[in-house]
Structure 1
Amino acid sequence: MRIRQLHCFVVLAEELNFTRAAKRLNMSQPPLSLQIQSLERALGADLFHRSSRKMTLTQAGEVLQRRAKNILAQHDRAILEVREAIAGHHGVLDIGTTGSILRAGLADLLARFCREFPGITVRLHEEAPALQISDLISGRMDVIFNRSPPAHDDLTCELAWKEDMVVMLPADHPLGAQDTLSLDDLRSERHVILRPDSSDFAAYIMSLISHGGMRPRISQQVVDAQSIPSLVAAGFGISVLPAGIAKLTSGPLISRPIAPESPVSEIFTVYSRHQRSPVTETFLRMARLARSW
């Protein structure tokens, strides 16, 4: 049973007239008759009662009619999904990131992507930066978002966006009376920091608070930036961190911009240099457009 035969049958079953059915199918009556006869031979049953006065469906024809439209619809859907997959509009996308980058705007980008491409299933993996790189190289991830460019020949990256760094401190801290803070203002403070050996970004923060040969007073070191606000609120010190983390943090905390020149955190879209699926290419195109939003 071929799809073309089934299509001819469905139209003829609706019209119950060879002339009208052939016209709808944009074909002459003899080829239509051959398609129906071939289908009946394949099924081993007559599908129509034919007489000089009218045409009706046989019991076998009624059974096939109930199923045929669904079969054709599934066939059309399968073709559409294949074409969408080739075009990058259907499939699965695995994205690796950290919680702080989700807060920095990635969540909004993913929400818009899912709305515009509902045929693509996005699977988000929150992991440490080093593990993200490993998973991307092995093929377990399609794209990752990281605060440092990759140091691997098989990977490449694009700057996704930049995020200002701010000072987070308890709401009752004396420095909170100032509208802006300089790095020199932080010289005598205790700091809650990311462990410097946990990522290049953590090392960058350490370099900021160590500027000018200053030896910062380190109170606590953590590997997850989302742990910092709780420690600051508990009185363990202040922290220099991305504005996205401070913006969505609740509790007795405030943040102040750094002046006169605000340091920034760069966020990179990282992906394979050589092997990218159509779905990955679709996401990368939208991520590039996001820079102008």
Structure 2
Amino acid sequence: MAARGRRLFFDFVIEAPTRFSREVQRAAEQVLPCIGSAVCRPRFQAQEIMSEDDVTAALSRIAKLGSHGVCIKARDLPTIRSAVDQLIAAGIPVITLVTDLTTTKRIAYVGLDNESAGRTAAYLIAKTIGDGDGTVLTSRSNDRFLGEEEREVAFKASLNQLCPNLRVIDASGGSGVHVETSRIMQGVVAGLDQVCAVYSMGGGNTAILNALEQNGSLPDVFVAHDLDHDNRQLINDGRLSYVLHHDLHVDLQNVFQAFLHHHRLLPVSPQIAISHIQVITPENIPPVIRRF
């Protein structure tokens, strides 16, 4: 009864390639009609690359404007953590999405089990190519996304156990954006004779594949993340071997329920579980479902 007629505004601050931020916005808009009886309005600020100043300025504007909750995907940097805690001190709850912010007082992390994802990628590569000699290429969008760092650490530890003869070469820092990823990849692959596997943790997969193809070193197995529009096309064409996917609709439902519970508009505390990994292959690509 308390929720009926309430109007709540939730802000999303997302540093991510446009293909991902669009998926988040679409998922949010699709789950909102089924979230309680309050009228919830999402407001999005998303950029492919956001500096520390960009993020802190966005959070400062939200603090001045007022908000019932902020969902953030940003780099784990001291200034950003400080800005988040200032929001929380002002009574605005914060939730981190797919990548966490250490030491903050955010009310929840929502998204993938990143360590499990890294171990899964190592297992898929080991089972595909075996324990021979060769080079595995890894790619993160940025060094300071905690989620991708967790994936990488778990991946390397598991791969070293499963295939100790493989060497790992890193080509990170392109922000998952085509032009920057292409530039970094071209500099790395130019000195490689052959790449037997790729684990892409941060996107930009078309750029990665194009650079490897131009170098004549396309891998036997390519593991990527997220079944967005680009990756759906790439795996459908057989250019990706596996996509480690999780359901953003579940994530966004968890986000809104956690905010509503914080404002005492849900009677029972929601059980926010870490998202399970779905291993997508060219043989089990799920159809695009328009929900609700």
TM-score (norm 2): 0.44
Q: Which has the higher contact order (CA 8 A, sep 6+)?
A: 1
Which structure's CA Rg is the greater one? 1
TM-score (norm 1): 0.44
